[in-house]
Amino acid sequence: MAHGLIHGDDPGDDPGDDPPGDPIRPDSGGEPADDTATEPEPTVWAFLDVGTETACALATEGYATCWGWDGHGEVSTVPTTHFQDVAVGRDHVCGLGDDGAVTCWGSSEYGADTPPAGSYADIVSGGYFSCAVTSANDVTCWGSDETGQLHPPEGPITGLTTSFKAVCGLNIDGIASCWGAESYGKTEPPEEVFLTVELTEFTGCGLRASDGGVTCWGSEEYVPNAPTSTGYTSLSCGVENCCALGTAGAMTCWGSDTNSQVSSAPSSGVW
């Protein structure tokens, strides 16, 4: 802050009237200016989910902020509810409240914004549908049922992941179960034990529990060159490509490279 005299820059003014370094606001009744409250504390984000054209994040206080496509109020009608999780679909968003209740907003097409009552522990969204998991790992889905994505298998399922029209999850033994769109064979996983599974629009991939290696199924034409090395700890997939992190933090990516998703991935560093 540049310091000066309230009465002007005439050096003949008595500097003792308004001492430099202790500025006085003319309308403050003679109180010193408060320079400690000029900027609010920055928001700290705790969780992020990205959909097709909309993204949402949860602050550490649990309040959601969304940005991107707002054609159905995905951004402008975010509830003020305190959420513990948020899931973004094609044109709807769902949040999981602290009490386990699900609240959805955005498009009402297919009933995607009308979740069933109940208490849930996890939530995911696909294109025009969403699924939630109870604390007993029972799965309930709502919205579009165009390809049977609202009909999960019987029995407890956890670790859900979605593509636009399909869902995969793991049973209590780590065996993958998938349902919904059967195109490219992505809903036909091998009977292996996985730590986690992910879906692209053309394949499914799982992180093996035995050695941390990656097994993929479905169309290798669209998502080729899955790594043969082992020791991965994390896996994430997009529409046509996937990336995995190794135990030392090194990153490996594979699949479509039409927009340099693979070739421009960092080749060094610890993540």
Q: What is the pLDDT of residues 88-134, one digit of tens each?
A: 999 999 999 999 999 999 999 999 999 999 999 999 999 999 999 99
Q: What are the angstrom distances between the C-alpha of 117 and each of 77, 82, 104, 152, 154? A: 21, 17, 12, 18, 20
- Using CA atoms, how far apart are residues 37 and 35, in angstroms rounded to an integer? 6
pLDDT band at 262 (very low <50, low <70, confident <90, very high): confident
Show Cβ contacts of residue 142 under 8 Å, excluding neighbours closer than 6 positions.
Answer: 111, 112, 114, 115, 116, 129, 130, 131, 150
- Check residues 68 and 34 and name the one with the higher pLDDT: 68
Query: Which residue bears the tokens 């730590």?
Result: 195
Q: Would you call 48 exposed, middle or buried from its count of C-beta atoms within 10 A (0-12, 13-18, 19+)? A: exposed
Instruction: Beginning with the edge strand found earlier in the chain, give each strand of the sheet holding 129-133 in spatial order.
Output: 122-125, 129-133, 139-143
Q: What is the pLDDT of residue 66?
A: 97
172-215 confidence digits (pLDDT tens)? 999 999 999 998 999 999 999 999 999 999 999 999 999 999 99
pLDDT band, residue 271 (cuts 50/70/90): low
The whole-number average pLDDT for the span 122-148 is: 97
Q: Residue 33 pLDDT > 60, yes or no? A: no
pLDDT band at 16 (very low <50, low <70, confident <90, very high): very low
Confidence of residue 221 (pLDDT cuts 50, 70, 90): confident
CA distances from 50 to 14, 62, 129, 133, 240 (A): 61, 17, 15, 20, 15
What are the backbone angles phi and psi of residue 70, rounded to the nearest 5°? -130, 30
pTM of the model: 0.81
- Percent of the chain at pLDDT above 90? 72
Please classify residue 162 by burial: count the beta carbons closer than 10 Å to its beta carbon, then call 0-12 exposed, 13-18 middle and 19+ buried.
Answer: buried
Type of residue numbered 14: D
DSSP 11: T
Half-sphere exposure of 55 (CA within 13 A, CB side): 5
